[in-house]
Amino acid sequence: MPILEIKHLTHTYSVGTPFQRNAVEDISFSVEPGEFLGIIGHTGSGKSTLIQHLNGLLRPTEGEILLNGKDIWAEPKKIRAVRFQVGLVFQYPEYQLFEETVYKDIAFGPKNQGKTGDELDHAVREAARLVGLRDEQLEKSPFELSGGQKRRVALAGVLAMEPKVLVLDEPTAGLDPAGRENLMANIREYHRHKDATILLVSHSMDEIARNADRILVLKSGHILMSGPPSEVFARAEELLTAGLDVPQITRVAMALRDQGIPIDPAVYTVEALEKQILALRRGGGLC
């Protein structure tokens, strides 16, 4: 059974004013437990609106969201319970830090969950360990840390609630390459060790290509494509006309193909392209 099921979701902003518009329109898809789903789309394609529905921050204008087969809005009073199961990390989450110490900030979520004492301490330390924060950093003020470290504290604040589904909105935006790689490694680790389901929104095609099992492409509030990376990136031209990018390696493959070299354009990793080129050389297709 899918862990998350989105059925005919439509969301309309500013109903009844001249600013009325549909941010997402009749979107349906489902997510299996343990899946790593990448979501890509142009700015304004409805990604942010979509993910805010998954933990009940926004209420669908039409359609429904099923978590483990149950409509999350069946009992509106218990919507907080959904938020503990579907953790959402916003864009630039470091701007939500507010506590005196890193430890207290990470503890905010699990405390709201009702955890106390050892259980709370364990949740906080485990989350801090997952994102690679050292023990002495836990007693610092979050405002003393660097940008990348703040970002990791914010991520830990959500991980500490141990959500079964983790939704991330451009978690690596604005970080340096090392920071990006570290953060993605943290996310992969959480995915693996907790059997968590991950939904990752990103503008970096390489990041998506490297991590996602399946990709959802949004365009002006609709689903443009959905499928494994090999299928989605095989339609590179379509992606480019939709104003989106493709992984660097796919670009290289496309350029090689334009030169008349018979390469499958659906490659999106260095290893796959290497294999193809080597095969071509051996087969005498090159030089």
Partner 1 sequence: MLKDITLGQYFPGNTPAHRLDPRTKILLVVLYITALFTAGSFLAYGLMAVVLAVCVRVSKVGLKALVKGLKPVLFIIVFTGILNLFFTPGENVLWALGPLQITAGGLRNAAFMVLRIMLLIMGTFLMTYTTSPISLTDGLERLLNGLKRFHVPVHELTMIMSIALRFIPTLIEETDKIMSAQKARGADFESGNLMEKARALVPILVPLFISAFRRADELATAMECRCYHGGEGRTKLHVLRYERRDYVALSLGVLILAGVIALRVFGK
Q: How many residues of this chain bind partner 1 (CB under 8 A)?
A: 28
CA dist 128 → 91, 103, 147, 197 (Å): 20, 8, 16, 20
Minimum CB distance to partner 1 smaller for 18 or for 117: 18
Asked if 78 is part of the footprint of partner 1 (rule: CB under 8 A), the reply reads no
Q: For residue 230, give the nearest of 264, 267, 270 by alpha carbon.
A: 267
**One of 83, 150, 152, 219 touching partner 1 (CB under 8 A):** 83
CB distance 133 to 146 below 8 Å: no
**Residue list 225-244, contact with partner 1 (CB under 8 A):** none
Q: CB atoms < 10 A from the CB of 21, how many?
A: 11
Asked if 187 is part of the footprint of partner 1 (rule: CB under 8 A), the reply reads no
DSSP 190-209: HHHHTT-EEEEE-S-HHHHH
**Residue list 92-111, contact with partner 1 (CB under 8 A):** 93, 95-98, 108-109
Asked if 197 is part of the footprint of partner 1 (rule: CB under 8 A), the reply reads no
CA dist 72 → 3, 54, 140, 164, 230 (Å): 12, 9, 37, 15, 33
Nearest distance, CB of residue 58 and partner 1, angstroms: 8
List alpha helices for 99-176, DSSP H. 102-113, 117-130, 147-159
Minimum CB distance to partner 1 smaller for 93 or for 247: 93
Q: Which stretch binds partner 1 (CB under 8 A): 116-124, 154-162, 187-195, 201-209?
A: 154-162
**Residue list 38-77, contact with partner 1 (CB under 8 A):** 52, 55, 57
Q: 75: helix, coil or strand? A: coil
Nearest distance, CB of residue 18 and partner 1, angstroms: 6
Q: How far apart are CA 234 and CA 65, in angstroms?
A: 30
Binding residues vs partner 1 (CB under 8 A)? 13-14, 16-18, 52, 55, 57, 80, 83-84, 87-90, 93, 95-98, 108-109, 112-113, 143, 157-158, 161
